[in-house]
A and B are shown apart, each in its own frame.
Chain A
């Protein structure tokens, strides 16, 4: 089975045999992929009850809870990687969560949907509408997303907080974007660490 490009990119960022915490792990597809390809020891935190059943079915370890609260329970540098993939924009206190993730993880992998992708910009500028795209399929009244940011916003945030971006990979649909990612990418994947490595 060929895995999704975004998951493959994340798997490439993760070293073999490491400990991974996936915040908002959903049905556990990514954690299972990391376990199978990189022999990671992974665990997840997930709020959705149904997703927990899928995770346990895949043989994964997962705590039913919410990212905003569960992170405080872990000791410093407890994980090699903490993953926040497409969950950061849904947490109540994203800044706190990132800083906590950087405390409990030696590395943090963040994946965010780009709210300033070209088609989104077009919808705002020319149609006068809040963007609805494949990556951001929700209407204003039913979106689980609490935060709306671009890849550039995230870079600026990291710079202001002295968070080191080791790698940034941008993708659109099923291919990588290197040309003006903040305009053309719909997802940005960042490998972060507290200190420069």
Chain B
């Protein structure tokens, strides 16, 4: 039974997780990967029958930045999610029905506390690193300050220490899209009709924020869908319209509407500097930080992390930062990127080499 940040209790809790590589004898090579909004525990490799590999397969595998020949990689689905961990679609043991909206609102901190049980269960006292981007990056930050003694290094990618008005605003549009779908039915749609239109619309808006104007132009420009000229009606004309529709529709197949509400809410509530300054927040944290952002990421721009880097510097934390030049917007961290791979690989090499407590 977990006491949540809201004061409510949740339990028993199931956490779905996958691991890659082998835990070494002294259990010092474990790295926890935290996933973003729509991710899951399946971070790398293929499941039987899969067309696509796990969501961070570009980074995790033999010889890759998160080298499974060297490291033991753990990735768990967050609570509130819908990919095997306890979330609003899970069965409430009290009522024997899906939780729906009776599922308590969870926070990034709650997600991290749940993950800590998993790390304890695996017998790991110290994680070599915790890594993640976007909402995964928020979990990394939470890990680094909530369990500083457990986290040796933090790899923080394309995220923020607290959600801004604009970031909250886009999430709210997504939530409103879902909640205004009549099939949503106050969250009680399990075994009935899925609020597919709402979920698809939420994903379409989200997807726009994950891309950059440049990457959209490069991919679609003004190209039309199998037609010579525009139709002068409201059918889809442009390829970008078809693409968003496709992304929305395919998301419906794999994601629970209520989970979307809960996870976006958790991100919006995230604010490390709520009660104290960032300098105070990072007084006790991981020894090493790697902070990565991308030039074209307008959703989580580089300048928003300046204050955090400053707070780390003031607290004498070993921090390396880089704004990587990429045109793919917020999604850059999920896409094959030599720069990100090289930085993560070499950063981990350094963390592994440096003795603990080095002046």
- B156 on the A face (CB < 8 A): no
Known: A17-B359, A74-B313. A53 touches B319 (CB 8 A): no
- When A63-B313, A74-B313 are in contact, do A56 and B320 touch as well, CB less than 8 Å? yes
Which residues of B307-359 are within 8 A (CB) of A?
A: 309-310, 313-314, 318-325, 339, 342-343, 346-347, 349-350, 353, 358-359
20 A-B contact pairs sorted by A residue (CB < 8 Å): A41-B359, A49-B324, A49-B325, A52-B320, A52-B343, A55-B320, A56-B320, A56-B343, A59-B350, A59-B353, A61-B350, A62-B320, A63-B309, A63-B313, A63-B319, A65-B321, A73-B309, A73-B310, A74-B313, A75-B314
CB-based contact A61/B318 at 8 Å: yes
Q: Which residues of B contact A41 (CB under 8 A)?
A: 358-359
- Would A59 and B318 count as touching, CB distance under 8 A? no
Binary flags per residue of A50-70, CB closer than 8 Å to B gives 1, else 0 = 001101110111111100000
User: Inside 8 A of A57's CB, which chain B residues have their CB?
Assistant: 342, 346
Q: Is the CB of A64 within 8 A of B339?
A: no
In the assembled complex, how far is the CB of residue A155 from the closest CB belonging to chain B, in whole angstroms? 32
Contacting A64 at CB < 8 Å: which of B314, B321, B350, B353? Answer: B321
B343: contacting residue among A53, A61, A65, CB under 8 A = A53
Given contacts A49-B325, A73-B309, A74-B313, 10 further A-B contacts (CB under 8 A): A56-B320, A57-B346, A59-B350, A60-B320, A61-B318, A63-B309, A63-B320, A64-B321, A73-B313, A75-B314
For A74, give the chain B residue with the smallest CB separation: B313
**Contact flags (1/0) for B11-38 with A, using CB distance below 8 Å?**
0000000000000000000000000000
Secondary structure of the A contact surface, majority rule: mixed
**Do A63 and B321 touch (CB < 8 A)?**
yes
Beta-carbon contact of B323 and A53 below 8 Å: no
Q: Distance (Å) between the CB of A83 and the closest chain B CB?
A: 17
How many whole Å from A101's CB to the nearest CB in chain B? 15
Closest to B342 in A: A53
Residues on B with C-beta less than 8 A from A43 are 318
Cβ contact of B319, chosen from A19, A49, A59, A61, cutoff 8 A: A61
Chain A residues positioned under 8 Å from B359 (CB to CB): 17, 19, 41
Chain B interface bracket (under 10, 10 to 19, 20 to 34, 35 or more) = 20 to 34
- On A, residues with C-beta under 8 Å from B are 17, 19, 41, 43, 49, 52-53, 55-57, 59-65, 73-75
Supposing A17-B359, A59-B353 touch, asked if A64 and B342 sit within 8 A by C-beta, the answer is no
CB < 8 Å: which of B310, B320, B324 contacts A61?
B320
Contact yes or no, B339 A53, CB < 8 A: yes
Residue of B323, B353, B358 contacting most chain A CB atoms (<10 Å)? B323
CB-defined contacts of A74 to chain B, threshold 8 Å: 313-314
Let me know if B314 and A52 touch, CB within 8 A.
Answer: no
Residues of A within 8 A of B321 (CB): 62-65
Q: Which residues of B contact A17 (CB under 8 A)?
A: 359
A49 to B302, CA, bound (A): 13
Residues on the A chain within 8 Å of B349, using CB: 59
A-chain residues with CB within 8 Å of residue B346 when the two chains form the complex: 56-57, 59
Alpha-carbon gap, A60 to B322, bound state (A)? 13
0/1 interface trace, chain B 236-265, chain A, CB 8 Å (1 if under): 000000000000000000000000000000
Question: Is B353's CB under 8 angstroms from A49's CB?
Answer: no
Task: Compute how far the CA of A52 lies from the CA of B353 in the bound complex, rounded to whole angstroms.
Answer: 19
Q: In the assembled complex, how far is the CB of residue B275 from the closest CB belonging to chain A, in whole angstroms?
A: 22
Residue of B318, B322, B324 contacting most chain A CB atoms (<10 Å): B322
Cα separation A118 to B133 with both chains bound (whole Å) = 54
Least CB distance from B295 to A in Å reads 9
How far does the alpha carbon of A57 sit from the alpha carbon of B350 in the complex, in Å? Answer: 9
Chain B CB within 10 A, most for which of A17, A61, A73? A61
**A31 shortest CB reach to chain B, Å:** 12
- Shortest Cβ distance from residue B136 to the other chain A in the assembled complex, whole angstroms: 21
